[in-house]
Amino acid sequence: MKWPRGLDGLCFGGDYNPEQWPEEVWREDVALMRRAGVNLVSVGVFAWARLEPARGRYTFDWLDRVLDLLDAGGVKVALATPTASPPPWFSLAHPDALPVRADGTRLLHGSRDTYCASAPAYRQACRRIAGELARRYADHPAVALWHAHNEYGTVCHCDHAAAAFRGWLRARYRTLDALNDAWTTAFWSQHYTDWDHVFPPRATQYLPNPGQVLDFRRFWSDELLAAYVEQREVLRAAGPDVPVTTNYVFGDWVPVDHARWSQEVDLVAIDHYPSDPGAGAEEETAFAGDLARSWAGGRPWLLMESAPNLIYAGGRMHAKEPGRMARHSLSHVARGSRGAMFFQWRAPRGGAERFHSALVPHAGPDSRVYGEACLLGQALDRLSEVDTGAVEASVALAWDAASWWALQGPGLPWDGIDYLAEVRAAHRALWRAGITADFVSLGRGGPLPYQMLVLPAHYLMSDAEAAAVRAYVDGGGRLVATYLSGVADEHGRVRLGGYPGALRDVLGVRVEEFRPTPDGWTEEVELAGADAVLPGVTRHRFGAGTAWYVSRRLDGAAFGALLAEAAGVPVREGAAELELVRRRGRHASWLFALNHGTTDHAVAAEGTDVLTGKRVEGALDVPAGGWAVIREAG
Amino acid sequence: MKWPRGLDGLCFGGDYNPEQWPEEVWREDVALMRRAGVNLVSVGVFAWARLEPARGRYTFDWLDRVLDLLDAGGVKVALATPTASPPPWFSLAHPDALPVRADGTRLLHGSRDTYCASAPAYRQACRRIAGELARRYADHPAVALWHAHNEYGTVCHCDHAAAAFRGWLRARYRTLDALNDAWTTAFWSQHYTDWDHVFPPRATQYLPNPGQVLDFRRFWSDELLAAYVEQREVLRAAGPDVPVTTNYVFGDWVPVDHARWSQEVDLVAIDHYPSDPGAGAEEETAFAGDLARSWAGGRPWLLMESAPNLIYAGGRMHAKEPGRMARHSLSHVARGSRGAMFFQWRAPRGGAERFHSALVPHAGPDSRVYGEACLLGQALDRLSEVDTGAVEASVALAWDAASWWALQGPGLPWDGIDYLAEVRAAHRALWRAGITADFVSLGRGGPLPYQMLVLPAHYLMSDAEAAAVRAYVDGGGRLVATYLSGVADEHGRVRLGGYPGALRDVLGVRVEEFRPTPDGWTEEVELAGADAVLPGVTRHRFGAGTAWYVSRRLDGAAFGALLAEAAGVPVREGAAELELVRRRGRHASWLFALNHGTTDHAVAAEGTDVLTGKRVEGALDVPAGGWAVIREAG
Amino acid sequence: MKWPRGLDGLCFGGDYNPEQWPEEVWREDVALMRRAGVNLVSVGVFAWARLEPARGRYTFDWLDRVLDLLDAGGVKVALATPTASPPPWFSLAHPDALPVRADGTRLLHGSRDTYCASAPAYRQACRRIAGELARRYADHPAVALWHAHNEYGTVCHCDHAAAAFRGWLRARYRTLDALNDAWTTAFWSQHYTDWDHVFPPRATQYLPNPGQVLDFRRFWSDELLAAYVEQREVLRAAGPDVPVTTNYVFGDWVPVDHARWSQEVDLVAIDHYPSDPGAGAEEETAFAGDLARSWAGGRPWLLMESAPNLIYAGGRMHAKEPGRMARHSLSHVARGSRGAMFFQWRAPRGGAERFHSALVPHAGPDSRVYGEACLLGQALDRLSEVDTGAVEASVALAWDAASWWALQGPGLPWDGIDYLAEVRAAHRALWRAGITADFVSLGRGGPLPYQMLVLPAHYLMSDAEAAAVRAYVDGGGRLVATYLSGVADEHGRVRLGGYPGALRDVLGVRVEEFRPTPDGWTEEVELAGADAVLPGVTRHRFGAGTAWYVSRRLDGAAFGALLAEAAGVPVREGAAELELVRRRGRHASWLFALNHGTTDHAVAAEGTDVLTGKRVEGALDVPAGGWAVIREAG
């Protein structure tokens, strides 16, 4: 991971779109940024139409003025390539580059992301505008970071996509025999005899081929990554000392494997918008922060977008309660974020997201939100000392994007299977027990330095991944695997002989039948070496380690108790109200205490309150809704 | 407003489709019409295929016979142009005139309304058939009214529509700069540099531009109006003494601004089908009648379609209870309708609406429904004296089609916002309090002669509209504005500085944050001159008047009490059971009493029972489910 | 009906797809089949791509080896034509043969059934591959049955389909006048003046024409039947002593009139998958078995597909409880099935249906399911003596596919009308009362030899059908007709004069208004000769018979009591727990007793327990979840 150029300490700021405002507002913006302590803004994210109003005609003058103004105000810039929204003229010039749905509907401009990332014309236009920006601004003193594109995640089913998909499949399988085998095309007469007969999973009569559906998502992860890498190379060519990143979007539909992508970015950057107006938002925040840190290999990363005052839930915009913006930000920093960035700086008058929250809301700077932003800016400034501290986590959860995608495919035993919910349930149980967790990708990297490894619904499992799990337990590790783990190989083909195929020996169980119920999941488990320890839970000694199998959905408290016992650590009562996370540096550690409750809580601690500078001896009171960071002796 | 030619008193009848029946049935029809007192029928509404079975080949002979037969029977005709359903041959000859959905699907004939009203071939064919009809029948003694088309409201996204939309936009904005500004195209790189790059809101990747969506609905209102005006001119050219109208359809999807259209029709005519099988149907009826009267500028209008025996609710046909058809008809007449017309005269054996109710049902004239129709015909005949009486209303509600459309657009704080529900809730509160209301369009017309003006969710507000409201209150008016009013300008751009932007000064409040809840809506209201009078309600003295702001959803009774208090009139208990409306003529007034309840009610009144001719002294008993009209001394 | 060639007794086996497995598995398969007593497997159902990997290049060698291996193992084969899933190369060669949805979306290969059965190229390819198979295998000793295609039921809206639809309409109506009349095209200006203007019901603006929609389903039933007959003729030409059939699929969307199809197959064969995980599955099984027997004219038929261990309900795979597979199989045999066949033999590793259950599940032969399959195989072997016994049924229900389709059309009084649910409710009431029922098609065949005839929601009724009903009652029959019966003619045109038009005289009632309620259905019934005997039920003496009219939805118990009383037989208490069905042969009868309950039950019987060979005197205990078949003296 690289640091934004010229930026020390934690980042604070957000998406800044001066193109939405007359120039007189810009000056007020910079003054308000200074007042709030903003030190980094993302500029140009959707500015293509303003930067290149016609093919090859560039209008950079306004951007020059904006960057100079920001530089003069001491605000650094994450300069974006604007490629997430090609201008209307581009659509008209290249209708073949507009995206196509599975049913053949070609989408038109008028929103954002109306392109096919496999279309040559689009890729060429992206390289061109990225190159122009790079050459003009790589040396601008305000530019601290390149922000390529925005939230890669747009797929397409057009003929360009079909051709690219075929190329990807040839590289993956080399022969049609291998593809036919991986996809089990013998079922329903889908055997391919010519690469040109293979298509994206377009609208078809009935259930599509699950292997095709899975590989199509894998393909798009790699295809979009290739588009990113192209931009990165263009940007690096103009000035290699400015790091390059892109902001990850997270959602059910996203065909991007962030763990894989993280090998190609200079700094992992995520956007995070919780979706639960209640206490679930705090859990989601912890979950996202832990994932991001893990994608970053445990190193610092950056929260690139979050909402100052908005949780969008069930079609309704929930305003965050006073203090909640800060607690969410601190939760991310506690988990390794290099700061807290927001979408967006100033609420626009129009456009589809005019009611999205902003640091400067429609009401203007004379507002609660801007006031809280100023306090947060101050706090982040004081917290800069934590920046490189490592986050303490003794247990790990496996995260596998491909299992997620596979469990969204056709023909599963239950259409209520939700991989993300399964992983979140495991993370939540740990979080509520007061246990900070990392995420790992099985088989990527060496031995797993954790007291416990949890595999929630790790449906796909290659032989290599299974071997990694086996070696971990054999070497003394504690494994907790939940239902559906190990059932299929990496192509989604069921492993025979009884479930959970790849893990039968490690878990010491054999299952013939799944029994999904309206409430969740159960199985008829046959013991094959394991002992039944609880309803739906078995334990098996394997080598020097122990492996638990959870064959039914446990309620949160029971799951937490089981995980804590398996990990060999006690449950911390009240952890969901008073969240504690520790970062450890070379000479000191920092204890983050976030009080999400409605009553004050005392934290046992020795050290110094970083915000007030006061000595903490034995305990510190954290008021309801408040937070504190205590520097402890290293 | 003009009267149907040659027709005195109230109209009674319905859609008559002789083309569905053999000629021997026609004679029975006319006899049954006479028996029932029918004096007006709409003929030819969907008869294009029978009138012009091939391009330019006209078969008017059967229509000649029908009109002569009706004339001989003393039944007048609202003669329709049949343009709401072009025949199959037209689709085949002009596939480019078939309508196209946002996703590009081109619709085929086989239903009704399969045309694009922007397609030149369609418009030309409409003018042609309208001209032929006009020239042939303008002087026919049976023809009392031209009924152009049917329920204008069909939109299209094809290239003809795109071209017309661009023309409309050029007329509205003159420059692309103005359009870009109004639509805030700076958001998401949607800046237009060429008119030809602007399209209808076709299928796109994610949220569309709300300005584009709003203007597309405005465009269709004007485009359909232009299509109507073209027909009107053709019809007028052949015989200027026959008034021309079209029947308004009302529904969520309708892109027609009826207030604007009412300037172009000779007689406002509406179709009304309540959708609530319970007491809500009576409220809906009152609501529709009040709207229609207001669109007609307070002058008489005509209920052109209603259902004799059907409330279609939730996919289910609810038969109206005995007496209910009459009460619904009387409610309309009480509100200014020049009669009661029905869809349709005789229930067809086949076709998509074969189970729609009719004055002559499948069971034939030996039926409850036909029996009640005969009684209603008698009653309407006796009630003709009320025809020109003005309806008494002391308070007004604002109605704004554009706010409706804007609140159906993308990116709002809550996808449960329903403008129509908000307006209806205010009207219902008044109705249940026994207060008859008019509707007004802000800024159309001069000073508002009402004790109280209610703005329910008047989301869009131009400077001129805001000035009209301000002047009204400043001059002593009483204003009640509910949440979302005044938030945006006429382009849907949020007014800055705090909500509700355009009305902050009048209301004496400032709001930073909306707080939609699962149940409705709340706001954090900052007092800026106003006093809090109830939870969620403030009151502000402004000039000589008073302005209330309602920032949360009140329950019906509380809302009614507040509105009555603001209007300075008492709540009439039991108004929902015993509905009272008064029409006032030059020399007399008429009190309509409709008993929607299940027990008899006495009405305090002095005068004459119009139906029985009996003297009413002090009180008249109105039986459960019944009604009475009392002529009072002028 | 014909018997599979060379196969005595009851069939046992399932779909066998050796093309999904390497050859070494084939040998294990045959061994496992022998162990389980399998004597018939369906081979080649989806093997087109493997049999003809490129146009005209055939690879039959593997199939040769499979058939030889099965033959050597004593397993017979139902050899399928693979036409339900053309290979990818076919789609590429004939894009015009891909199916098109109503909205114009052309579907691509990648699933199954991606063809238009009206496309000449597809029909030609089907005849070609069927001919090749027939010529090569007609004389193979393993081949016992031709299994044409699979689950005919795929429709299309393309131009080929349009042309074929027009041809069918010309044959049906001869003149456009007749079509216009049948479809009531006078409504909404849909009058046709040229056959070429008639299309399938493609996407249109609003409600489509119900006559067009109904005829389109009728057309597809006939068009698919023509496709079947073409294959049958090709297969017969190569070897007339092998009977030909196809497996019927059953579902709401299916446009196939199985009663009509049954005149063209040598053996009625159905697929049956119940959808209720609870006791409803047993009712569905009885319903399907009774329907199949009736389609077969009371003669033996064959359960061609069923699920060994799966009830797919609400998106969830419910595993059948131990013993349930056998009880479902026995229920079919009790109702005339010539055995019990399953989909499928061995669970595949991949493909869209990899989690569908199988006789050899993923866990392998060491599993509960394979164990139960072996026991079932044994039992079926002993039960072979029942094979030609006739099923005893004294009452009949009418089944009318066209009424089903018509009641799925547009513009009905309630969109909750569900013909299948109505028929099933009547069948269920009988089943729960312990009364075995046949189904009949009105007007097909001669006098009805039943004590009672039930018409559940027989919406469409031609004059001939009405006459058949009238004659039945007049001759002394007992009729029970439920609401909606007789309302429309065969074109879906409402019969005038009062509902239920065609049956008013027989039932002695007249109805003016339907009153669908949120819970079901009620009517205002005017007595015209009938007596009211219960709320919503009338009884009428007509000729020598009696006719009951049920004008509202009765609960199950009341409906059962009414039907039993009308039939003149007593309700058997507990029939839903202990199901009893009797088959009667020339010299003996067999009583099937299936205990679906959770407690043991005693069956009164005299004879021999077929499974154990033990004598039964007076009573036999059937354990909870178990079953028995007792041979009684003839």
**CATH number reported for the structural domain that contains residue B584 in this entry:** 2.60.40.1180
B436 vs B194: CA distance, rounded Å: 50
Name the residue with tokens 């079901």. Answer: C520
- My answer on whether C590 and C520 are in the same domain is no
B74 vs B68: CA distance, rounded Å: 10
Mean pLDDT across the stretch B252-279? 95
Mean pLDDT across the stretch B234-263? 94
pLDDT digits (tens, 9 = 90+) for C620-629: 999 999 999 9
Phi, psi of B495 (to 5 degrees): -80, 130
Contact A448, A397 (CB under 8 A): no
Q: Is the peptide bond before C378 cis (omega within 30 degrees of 0)?
A: no
- Please report which confidence band the pLDDT of residue C239 belongs to, taking 50, 70 and 90 as the band edges: confident
Chains linked to C by 3 or more Cβ pairs within 8 Å: A, B
- My answer on whether C412 and C454 are in the same domain is yes
pLDDT digits (tens, 9 = 90+) for C453-473: 999 999 999 999 999 999 999
CB contact under 8 A, B316 and C413: yes
State which residues form the domain around C595: 578-633
Select the residue from C188, C195, C215 to test the B interface by mutation, using most B Cβ atoms within 10 A. C188
CB contact under 8 A, A206 and C111: yes
For C490, nearest residue in chain B (alpha carbons) = B350
Q: What's the total number of domains in chain A?
A: 3
- Please report which confidence band the pLDDT of residue A633 belongs to, taking 50, 70 and 90 as the band edges: confident
Nearest to A412 among C17, C109, C355 (CB): C355
Q: Which two tokens stand for residue B606?
A: 């002095």
Q: Is the pLDDT of residue A504 over 90?
A: yes
Mean pLDDT across the stretch B502-518? 96
A178 and chain C in contact, CB less than 8 A: no
pLDDT digits (tens, 9 = 90+) for A532-581: 999 999 999 999 999 999 999 999 999 999 999 999 999 999 999 999 99
∠ CA C546-C551-C553, rounded to 5°: 120
C129 vs B524: CA distance, rounded Å: 74
Q: Is the pLDDT of residue C287 over 90?
A: yes
Q: Which two tokens stand for residue C574?
A: 């507990």
Could you tell me which residues come within 8 angstroms of residue A138 by beta carbon, excluding any fewer than 6 positions away?
A235, A238, A239, A242
Nearest to A108 among B187, B189, B202 (CB): B202
Nearest to C351 among A188, A414, A516 (CB): A188
Residue A5 in domain: yes
Nearest to C107 among A192, A205, A414 (CB): A205
pLDDT digits (tens, 9 = 90+) for B351-407: 999 999 999 999 999 999 999 999 999 999 999 999 889 999 999 999 999 999 999
- Please report which confidence band the pLDDT of residue A210 belongs to, taking 50, 70 and 90 as the band edges: very high
C358 vs C415: CA distance, rounded Å: 38
- Please report which confidence band the pLDDT of residue A254 belongs to, taking 50, 70 and 90 as the band edges: confident
Lowest-confidence segment of B259-268, C386-395, C590-599 by average pLDDT: C386-395
Name the residue with tokens 């109003």. Answer: A53
- My answer on whether A563 and A585 are in the same domain is no
pLDDT digits (tens, 9 = 90+) for A31-59: 999 999 999 999 999 999 999 999 999 99
Residue A385 in domain: no
Select the residue from A21, A317, A346, A368 to test the B interface by mutation, using most B Cβ atoms within 10 A. A317
Residue B79 in domain: yes
CB contact under 8 A, C363 and A491: no
Residue B488 β-bridge partners = B460, B494
pLDDT for B53 equals 97
pLDDT for B634 equals 65
Residue B134 in domain: yes
Q: Is the pLDDT of residue C445 over 80?
A: no
Residues above pLDDT 90, as percent of chain C: 95
Which of residues 454 through 483 in chain A touch B, CB cutoff 8 A? none
From B360's Cα to the closest Cα of chain C, the distance in A is: 11
- My answer on whether C141 and C28 are in the same domain is yes
- My answer on whether B541 and B587 are in the same domain is no
pLDDT digits (tens, 9 = 90+) for C20-37: 999 999 999 999 999 999
C187 and chain B in contact, CB less than 8 A: yes
CB contact under 8 A, C193 and B111: no
B89 and chain C in contact, CB less than 8 A: yes
Contact A553, A519 (CB under 8 A): yes
Select the residue from A111, A309, A310 to test the B interface by mutation, using most B Cβ atoms within 10 A. A111
B177 and chain A in contact, CB less than 8 A: no
CB atoms closer than 10 angstroms to residue A114: 27
Residues of C within 8 A of B19 (CB-CB) are 186
- My answer on whether C520 and C597 are in the same domain is no
B84 vs B62: CA distance, rounded Å: 20
B197 and chain A in contact, CB less than 8 A: yes
CB contact under 8 A, B363 and C497: yes
Residues of B with catalytic roles: 151, 305
* Strand order across the C337-342 sheet: C244-245, C143-147, C76-80, C40-43, C11-16, C337-342, C301-305, C269-271, C247-248
Could you tell me which residues come within 8 angstroms of residue B345 by beta carbon, excluding any fewer than 6 positions away?
B13, B14, B15, B16, B17, B29, B33, B38, B41, B358, B359, B360
C348 vs C29: CA distance, rounded Å: 13
What number is the ipTM of this complex? 0.97
Mean pLDDT across the stretch A154-180? 98
A272 vs A75: CA distance, rounded Å: 23
Contact A183, A491 (CB under 8 A): yes
Residues of C within 8 A of B353 (CB-CB) are 187, 207, 411
pLDDT digits (tens, 9 = 90+) for B477-493: 999 999 999 999 999 99
Q: Where do the DSSP E strands lie in B567-623? A: 578-584, 588-595, 601-609, 615-622
pLDDT digits (tens, 9 = 90+) for C315-335: 999 999 999 999 999 999 999
Residues of C within 8 A of B85 (CB-CB) are 188-190
- My answer on whether C477 and C608 are in the same domain is no
| Average pLDDT over chain B, rounded to an integer | 97
Q: Where do the DSSP E strands lie in B62-203? A: 76-80, 143-147
For A184, nearest residue in chain C (alpha carbons) = C350
Nearest to A350 among B184, B191, B514 (CB): B184
In this structure, what CATH number is given to the domain that contains residue A74? 3.20.20.80
Element (DSSP H or E) covering residue A269: strand A269-271
Residues above pLDDT 70, as percent of chain C: 100
Chains linked to A by 3 or more Cβ pairs within 8 Å: B, C
- My answer on whether B486 and B619 are in the same domain is no
Mean pLDDT across the stretch A343-355? 98
Nearest to A207 among C99, C111, C309 (CB): C111
Nearest to C49 among A189, A208, A494 (CB): A189
Which of residues 100 through 119 in chain B touch A, CB cutoff 8 A? 103-104
Q: Pick the residue with more confidence: C252 or A48?
A: A48
CB contact under 8 A, C497 and B107: no
Catalytic residue, from A52, A132, A151, A282: name it: A151
Mapping DSSP to helix (H, G, I), strand (E, B) and coil, where does residue C33 land? helix
pLDDT for B252 equals 82
Side chain identity, residue A453: L
Residue A558 in domain: yes
Element (DSSP H or E) covering residue C376: helix C368-382
Q: Which two tokens stand for residue C494?
A: 């409402």
- My answer on whether B401 and B261 are in the same domain is no
Mean pLDDT across the stretch A423-449? 94
Which residue from C486, C492, C469, C520 is spatially nearest to C407, judged by alpha carbons? C492
- My answer on whether C601 and C482 are in the same domain is no
Residues of B within 8 A of C415 (CB-CB) are 315-316
Side chain identity, residue C411: G
Nearest to C516 among B106, B316, B367 (CB): B316
From B110's Cα to the closest Cα of chain C, the distance in A is: 6
The size of the A-B interface in CB pairs under 8 A is: 181
Residues of C with catalytic roles: 151, 305
Residue B421 in domain: yes
From C471's Cα to the closest Cα of chain A, the distance in A is: 46
Chains linked to B by 3 or more Cβ pairs within 8 Å: A, C
pLDDT for A3 equals 83
Element (DSSP H or E) covering residue C247: strand C247-248
Residues of A within 8 A of C99 (CB-CB) are 205
pLDDT for B444 equals 78
Side chain identity, residue B45: V
Which residue from A10, A58, A19 is spatially nearest to A37, judged by alpha carbons? A10
pLDDT digits (tens, 9 = 90+) for B535-546: 999 999 999 999
Residues of B within 8 A of A24 (CB-CB) are none
Residues of C within 8 A of A517 (CB-CB) are 316
- My answer on whether A538 and A601 are in the same domain is no
- My answer on whether A539 and A416 are in the same domain is yes
Q: Is the pLDDT of residue C208 over 90?
A: yes
CB contact under 8 A, C46 and A187: yes
- Please report which confidence band the pLDDT of residue A634 belongs to, taking 50, 70 and 90 as the band edges: low
CB contact under 8 A, A316 and B414: yes
CB contact under 8 A, A193 and C368: no
**pTM, to two decimals:** 0.97
Q: Is the pLDDT of residue B572 over 70?
A: yes
B81 and chain C in contact, CB less than 8 A: no
| Average pLDDT over chain C, rounded to an integer | 97
pLDDT for B239 equals 84
Contact B82, B76 (CB under 8 A): no
Residues of B within 8 A of A89 (CB-CB) are 193-194, 197
Residue B24 in domain: yes
pLDDT for C634 equals 65
Mean pLDDT across the stretch A325-352? 98
C361 and chain A in contact, CB less than 8 A: yes
Residues above pLDDT 70, as percent of chain B: 100
Residues of A within 8 A of B187 (CB-CB) are 17, 20, 46, 348, 350-354
Residue A330 in domain: no
